[in-house]
Amino acid sequence: MANTAKPCKLALIQLAVSADKDANLANARTHVLEAASKGANLIVLPECFNSPYGTGYFPEYAETLADGPSVKSLSAMAKDAKAYLIGGSIPERDPTDEKIYNTCTVYNPEGKLIATHRKVHLFDIDVPGKIRFQESETLTAGRQLTHVDTDFGKIGVGICYDIRFPEPAMIAARQGCFAMIYPGAFNLTTGPLHWELLQRARAVDNQMYVAACSPARDLKAAYHAWGHSTIVGPAGNVIETMDENQGIIYADLDLKTMAEFRQNIPLTTQRRFDLYADISKVKP
């Protein structure tokens, strides 16, 4: 596990998102600079922060990473904030095959794009009478897990539904990540049931920081986000959380305490992979 002297102040920006992409980018910029002015050096935006969330919107709002307005704007925000920026997610169009992805872009404090994560588990669910959502109607799933090197140490990135799958977080922790960051947008059905529980589960299983950053709730929008952006510590403890409105939460991530905690309860070295090495071969 990376241990570093450089203090990491995390900010999650729970942004109000509208149908106006330029306005969303401007709103993101205002909040990123505000977080930086409060000392944050690792700043996170929500899933789908530049577009309304819905399969019908993705093709219309999708842009390429090479010359789309969102990447340009996010890069400038990171540079002006002098902070790492985990730029939520945007609908991305890949010009090579015209496929659309739900993609998180990550920038260093010089504004350089240093990583991209395409959501690997698409949100396809049907809870009769409550919520049906099929991202696969217009999106394609990413094909790799994402770990980002920063001055603070390595960070794993996932997007929303990715948090339901324990394996990427465990792989990230075993490969030295001290945190999993999930831009996400749960809803009014699964939010109260699972949003916090999943974050605490990923954190306590892997003794790492976990943070999930949601858009603010807008009851006039087609999709009603749960909100409640949350930061969880390596003991599975909720450090900061919030309601459904636009706002920012902060936490100092302390890698020394995390390392001590991992030493006190040494799960990583106690795992019995001789008993459960390849679970993909176990038939459900």
> Which residues form the interface with ligand AKG (CB under 6 A)?
47, 123, 160-161, 164, 185-187, 190, 194
Would residue 112 show up in a list of annotated catalytic residues for this protein?
A: no
Least distance from ligand AKG to the Cβ atom of residue 162, Å: 7
Burial class (CB within 10 angstroms; exposed 0-12, middle 13-18, buried 19+) of 55: middle
Please identify, using beta-carbon distances, which residue of 154 and 164 lies nearer to ligand AKG: 164
Q: Residue with structure tokens 């070295």? A: 269
Q: Are 228 and 242 in contact (CB under 8 A)?
A: yes
CB of 159 to ligand AKG, least distance (A): 7
In whole angstroms, the minimum distance from the beta carbon of 266 to ligand AKG comes to: 31
The nearest distance, CB 6 to ligand AKG, in angstroms, is 32
Q: Is 216 in contact with 6 (CB distance < 8 Å)?
A: no
Catalytic residue from among 8, 92, 119, 196 = 119
Catalytic-residue membership of 47: yes
Complex with ligand AKG: residue 178 or 195, whichever CB lies closer: 195
Give catalytic status of residue 135 as yes or no. Answer: no
Which residue among the candidates 9, 47, 63, 213 is catalytic per the annotation?
47
Query: Which string of DSSP letters, residue by residue, matches 85-102?
Result: EE---EEEE-TTT--EEE
Expressed in angstroms, the distance from the first to the final Cα of the chain is: 33
Distance CA 48, CA 90 (A): 5
Beta carbon nearer to ligand AKG, 185 or 201: 185
8, 48, 160, 213: the catalytic one is: 160
Q: What is the 3-state secondary structure (H, E, C) of 105-121?
A: EEECCCCCEEEEEECCC
Distance CA 221, CA 229 (A): 19
Residue among 63 and 162 whose Cβ is closer to ligand AKG: 162
Shortest Å distance, C-beta 115 to ligand AKG: 19
Nearer to ligand AKG, 48 or 258 (CB): 48
Beta-strand pair 153-157/177-183: parallel
Residue 208: both structure tokens together: 């790492």
Residues 6+ apart with CB under 8 A from 209: 10, 178, 179, 180, 203, 231, 232, 233, 234, 253, 258
Q: Residues with Cβ < 8 Å from 27, sequence gap 6 or more?
A: 15, 16
> Is the CB of 40 or the CB of 160 nearer to ligand AKG?
160
The least CB distance from residue 194 to ligand AKG, in Å, is 6
Catalytically active residues are: 47, 119, 160
